[in-house]
């Protein structure tokens, strides 16, 4: 392990779960996505996240919004969100990109549960006379 992974393991080991029942980790590049991923990041840190029962991992970088099932070693947790034993990965890179959202790589990964990309959303539509709030539709075409 490297210094960063050692620090992370020590920091997570020090968490008193009776006082801090949820562990949320934030990072830049996603490890699990239907598109751009950081496989080296996953290799370096996933075992630490699993060992210390990280609940939620938030990332950005890939300009989409994607919610996955909880995942361990590339496999969706069969319990889904019903008291999972794996971290739940959410990518929210949808804000701040000058050129809008990116596109998912299809077909979706087996752990993909919901997403917004250039193929399935409309957002930030404005006119000079009438600003409009973002409108989103899911990848199956339903309006929410």
φ and ψ at 27, to 5 degrees?
-145, 175
Cα–Cα–Cα angle for 72, 76, 78, rounded to 5 degrees: 110
| pLDDT, tens digit, 9 for 90 and up, residues 3-19 | 999 999 999 999 999 99
* pLDDT tier, 121 (very low <50, low <70, confident <90, very high otherwise): low
Nearby residues of 137 by Cβ (< 8 Å), 6 or more positions away: 120, 121, 122, 143, 144
pLDDT at 70 over 50: yes
Rg (CA), the chain: 17
Give the mean model confidence (pLDDT) for residues 37-52: 95
| Cα 53 from chain centre | 16
Q: Which residues pair with 130 in a beta bridge?
A: none
Nearby residues of 40 by Cβ (< 8 Å), 6 or more positions away: none
| pLDDT, tens digit, 9 for 90 and up, residues 80-104 | 999 999 999 999 988 767 777 888 8
pTM for this model (two decimals): 0.80
φ and ψ at 39, to 5 degrees?
-65, -35
What's the confidence (pLDDT) of residue 36? 83
Cβ 73 vs Cβ 46: under 8 Å: yes
pLDDT at 58 over 90: yes
């Amino acid at each position: 392990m490297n210094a960063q992974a050692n620090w992370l393991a020590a920091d997570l080991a020090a968490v008193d779960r009776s006082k801090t029942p949820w562990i949320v980790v934030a990072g830049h590049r996603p490890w699990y996505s239907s598109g751009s991923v950081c496989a080296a990041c996953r290799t370096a840190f996933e075992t630490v996240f699993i060992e210390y029962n990280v609940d939620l991992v938030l990332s950005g970088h890939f300009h989409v919004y994607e919610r996955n099932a909880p995942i361990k070693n590339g496999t969706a947790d069969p319990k889904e969100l019903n008291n999972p034993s794996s971290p739940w990965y959410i990518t929210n890179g949808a804000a701040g990109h000058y050129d809008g959202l990116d596109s998912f790589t299809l077909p979706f990964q087996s752990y993909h549960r919901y997403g917004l990309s250039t193929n399935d959303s409309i957002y930030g539509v404005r006119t000079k006379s009438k600003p409009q709030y973002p409108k989103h539709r899911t990848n199956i075409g339903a309006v929410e």
